[in-house]
Amino acid sequence: MLDVLSVCRNFGGLPALSDVSFSLQRGRVTALIGPNGAGKTTMINCITGVDIPDAGRVDFAGEDITGLPAYQVARLGISRTFQNLKLFPRLSVIDNVLCGLTVQGGQSMLGALLRPPRVRNRERRLRLLAMAALDRFGLTELADWPVDVLAYGDRKRVELARAVVSEPRLILLDEPVAGLNHEETSTVAKEIRALRAQGYTLLLVEHDMDLVMRVSDHVVVLDGGRCIAGGTPDEVRRNPLVLEAYLGRTGAMA
Amino acid sequence: MDIHDRILYFLDLHRNGLTVLALSLLLAVYPLAYGNPYILGLTNLIGIYTIVVLGLNLFIGYAGQISLGHAAFFALGAYGSAVLTVKWGVWPWPAIALVALATAMIALLVGIPALRLHGHYLAMATLGFNIVIYTVLVQWDELTGGPSGFAGIPALSFGAWQFDSDLKLHYLVWSAALICLMLGLNLVRSGVGRGLAALAGDEVAARSLGVDTRRAKVKVFVLSAVLASLAGSLYAHTFGFVSPDTFGIFASVDFVTMVVVGGLGSVWGSLFGAALLTWLPEFIDVFESYKDIIHGLILVLVLLFLPKGLVTGLIDLSRVRLARWRQRRA
């Protein structure tokens, strides 16, 4: 589905990613984990076209997408959420979710100005899709609220709805449970499993080990910009390199 | 739900359509009762400014950019129509379209490099463009009439029927303004409009949702330039005379003030901002000599206390008050 092949990225001579390779399987949940500064966010940025790798390539569904601008990557069917939430504060909840449908293109300035029946029907259809996505995440009641008055957990769900509404081929979740309490975290876990059950492919970047172990099929571990391990959650949990990366090199706790 | 709720729901659902309807009725009827040519001249100017401010509001309020040069596009429309009809004998209507097209091209040429800039830099670039156009208007006197202006621009007409009185012009100008407002309302409710709002909110997020932000910015810049050009052409044919003073950088600043006072990102606010800042100086004499200072003061006060603009800000404020009042009553 997605193949990352020997990707390198340096920032001013400091390697943020060196020779990282891994693959995502269609219909599976893959988790990308690692300590702070391991290069997880850089990796996501290189996949989504926000950043360009210095070397290596990224293939999506057999197509080389390395260096494509972010909006084109999005239109190929890769959607994402952001670590620190990037919602549009001036728009209502439903309009934020509708923004997730921009990837479908087909919007001309002239059509938007004149709003012929074709455009009007399209808008109606998009609105139904957005309402369905809101319903799925239990946000129907909040549809017309401005997003900046919502609770943090609700805003996270709005962003998730926005990422899912276009039925993308791949969803990247950048720390979906950061800042959420225990209860909200299990809701997100349930939602991730539901998405997987529907056949979605997900890449999960997360610090919460408990969540990673509960929902992932495959785990990739980054440390210091290198890929140090990969395998099922159980394999990774037992891998001494991973324990060392997370718990330090003294070995006292391992 | 009871009848009270139903009425409220209906009003809310059709608020734009109903506002357009009410405004059209008001504009159609009031000059018949109150046809003072001086007032009509003033409201015609408001109608024309509304079109400029609407375009600028799409660019500043919706797309989150800044332009301190829109008086230049207004000037291109006005002088374009003047030169084409008087010097080259082109019919007024096709001249308006030609000038709008040429302005779009110029906006494209200016916009592609300038819109790579952000914030203050973009403001400076557009300001520079305005200064260039203003200087050309003043210096190229065999074409533009120089500092003393360009007179004798013909009125618009359908055959022998001319838009030659303030009353006739009232209907022309306000039809144009209302059509533009409706187009603006359509735009902001569409995918393109949401793309612009996304771009204003966060460019990285907008790109990650498939918005080609660079193109979207250029497109809305060109659209706002075309609206300014159309308004400029209307201005030239309405008043029959244009001079560079109307199109200097302070005019651009006034347009931005109208956008901010009316409400960033509010289509109706454009009308309100244009009306308020055009009308106020007529009522208060001090305005005449200290106009720029007072406009600056209004801008600062609005930004400090109602950063969403007067209309949007006051609506939000009254919503909060209403909600509190309902809470107390319940």
Q: What is the pLDDT of residues A5-61, one digit of tens each?
A: 999 999 988 889 999 999 999 999 999 998 888 889 899 999 999 999 999 999 999
Pick from B64, A133, B272: which is nearest to A142 by CA? Answer: A133
Structure confidence by residue, pLDDT tens digits, A108-149: 888 889 998 988 999 999 999 999 999 999 999 999 888 888
Q: How many independent structural domains does chain A possess?
A: 2
Tell me, yes or no, whether A65 and A17 share the same domain.
yes
Q: Is the pLDDT of residue A241 over 90?
A: no
State the pLDDT at residue B305. Answer: 81
Average pLDDT over residues B273-282: 88
- Cα B176 to Cα B230: distance, rounded to the nearest angstrom: 9
Domain boundaries, position A61: 1-77+169-254
Residue B30, CB-side half-sphere exposure with 13 Å CA sphere: 13
Q: Does B313 touch chain A (CB under 8 A)?
A: no
Same domain, A73 and A17: yes
The alpha-helical segments, DSSP class H, found in chain B are 3-13, 15-33, 37-57, 70-82, 92-114, 119-139, 141-144, 166-188, 191-201, 203-208, 213-239, 249-262, 267-283, 286-305, 310-329
Report how far residue A162's alpha carbon sits from residue A158's, in angstroms, rounded to the nearest whole number: 6
What does the block give as tokens for B214? 């660079």
Same domain, A158 and A177: no
Residue A254 has a pLDDT of 36
pLDDT for B292-327, tens place per residue?
Answer: 788 888 888 888 887 777 777 787 777 778 777 877
Q: Is there a contact between A113 and B211 if contact means CB atoms under 8 Å apart?
A: no
Query: Do A70 and A187 sit in the same domain of this protein?
Result: yes
Do residues A105 and A155 both lie within one domain?
A: yes
The CA-CA-CA angle for residues A231, A65, A26, to 5°, reads 40
Q: Which two tokens stand for residue B282?
A: 């007529």
- The SS3 call for residue B149 is coil
Last residue of one domain, picked from the residues A146, A167, A188: A167
pLDDT greater than 50 at residue A251: no
Q: Using a CB–CB cutoff of 8 Å, tell me whether B269 touches chain A.
A: no
| Residue that is last in its domain, among A128, A144, A167 | A167
Q: Looking at the predicted structure, is the pLDDT value of residue A252 above 50?
A: no
**Listed residue (A159, A74, A225) closest to B211, CA to CA:** A74
Is residue A188 included in any domain, yes or no? yes
Same domain as A179, residue A249: yes
Q: How far is CA A153 from the centre of its chain?
A: 17
Predicted confidence band of residue A83 (pLDDT cuts 50, 70, 90): confident
Q: Hey, is the C-beta of B113 within 8 angstroms of any chain A C-beta?
A: no
Are A159 and A187 members of one domain? Answer: no
A85, closest residue in chain B (CA to CA) = B205
CA-based nearest distance B183→chain A, Å:
5
pLDDT at B54 over 90: yes
Per-residue pLDDT at B325: 80
Q: Under a CB-based contact definition with an 8 Å cutoff, are residues A39 and A19 in contact?
A: no
What end-to-end distance do the CA atoms of chain B give, in Å?
18
Length of chain A as a residue count: 254
pLDDT bin (cut points 50, 70, 90) of residue A105 is low
| pLDDT above 60 (res A100) | yes
Q: Domain-by-domain residue ranges, chain B?
A: 35-249
Note whether B213 and B206 are within 8 A (CB): yes
Is residue A200 in a domain?
Answer: yes
Quickly tell me which residue has 């991973």 as its tokens: A242
Residues A237 and A111 reside in one and the same domain: no
Pair A176, A232 in one domain? yes
Of B186, B195, B205, the CB nearest to A86: B205
Helix, strand, or coil (residue A5) = strand
Question: Which of A71, A89, A99 minimises the CB distance to B194?
Answer: A99
Task: Summarize the confidence of residues B149-169 as an average pLDDT.
Answer: 89
Give B155's contacts (C-beta < 8 A, 6+ positions apart). B162, B163, B164, B237, B240
Q: Provide, rounded to the nearest whole percent, the portion of chain B with pLDDT above 70.
A: 98
Nearest to B227 by CA among B194, B179, B282: B179
Other CB atoms within 10 Å distance of the CB of residue B279: 15
Min Cα separation A235/chain B (Å) = 33
Q: How far apart are CA B251 and CA B77, in angstroms?
A: 15
Count contacts between A and B (CB, < 8 Å): 102
Q: Which two tokens stand for residue A123?
A: 């808008």
C-alpha closest to that of A157 among A136, A172, A174, A171: A136
Q: Would you state the structure tokens that stand for residue B250, as one six-digit string? A: 């302070």
pLDDT at A253 (0 to 100): 42
Sequence-distant (6+) residues with CB within 8 A of A99 are A88, A91, A162, B194, B195, B197, B198, B206, B209
Lowest mean pLDDT among B6-15, B63-72, B117-126, B171-180: B6-15
pTM: 0.90
Whether residue B5 is predicted with pLDDT greater than 50 in this model: the reply is: yes
Q: Map tokens 């289509």 to a residue.
A: B267
B97: confidence class by pLDDT, cuts 50, 70, 90: very high
Chain A, window 127-186: residues with a beta carbon less than 8 angstroms from a chain B beta carbon: 162
CATH number of the domain that residue A180 is part of: 3.40.50.300
Domain contains A16: yes
Residues A159, A180, single domain; the answer is no
Domain membership of residue A189 (yes or no) is yes
Q: In terms of Cα–Cα distance, which of A25, A24, A41 is closest to A33?
A: A41
Q: pLDDT over 70 for what percent of chain A?
A: 96
Residue A82 lies in a domain: no
What tokens does B304 get? 């400090």
**From CA B186, how far away is CA B272, in angstroms rounded?**
19
CB < 8 Å to A114, chain B: 183, 186
3-state secondary structure B159-197: CCEECCCHHHHHHHHHHHHHHHHHHHHHHHCCHHHHHHH
Give the Cα separation of A225 and A229 in Å (integer). 12
ipTM of this model? 0.88
From the list A71, A109, A126, the residue facing B192 with the nearest CB is A109
Q: Does the beta carbon of A76 lie under 8 angstroms from any beta carbon of chain B?
A: no
Residue B64 φ/ψ, nearest 5 degrees: 70, 25
Domain match, A72 and A11 both: yes
CA atoms within 13 A on the CB side of B19: 13
Same structural domain, A175 and A122? no
- Residues B204 and A49: their CA atoms lie apart, in Å, by 10
CA distance B78 to B51: 13
Q: Which residues, 6 or more positions from A32, have their beta carbon under 8 angstroms from its beta carbon? A: A22, A40, A43, A44, A203, A204, A205, A206, A220, A222
Q: What is the mean pLDDT of chain A?
A: 90
Considering the domain boundaries, does residue A107 fall inside one?
yes
Instruction: For residue B115, give how far its alpha carbon lies from the nearest alpha carbon of chain A (Å).
Output: 18
The last residue of a domain, from among A133, A152, A167: A167
Q: Which residues of B are less than 8 Å from A49 in CB distance?
A: 207
**Residue B291 scores a pLDDT above 60:** yes
Number of Cβ within 10 Å of residue B98's Cβ equals 15
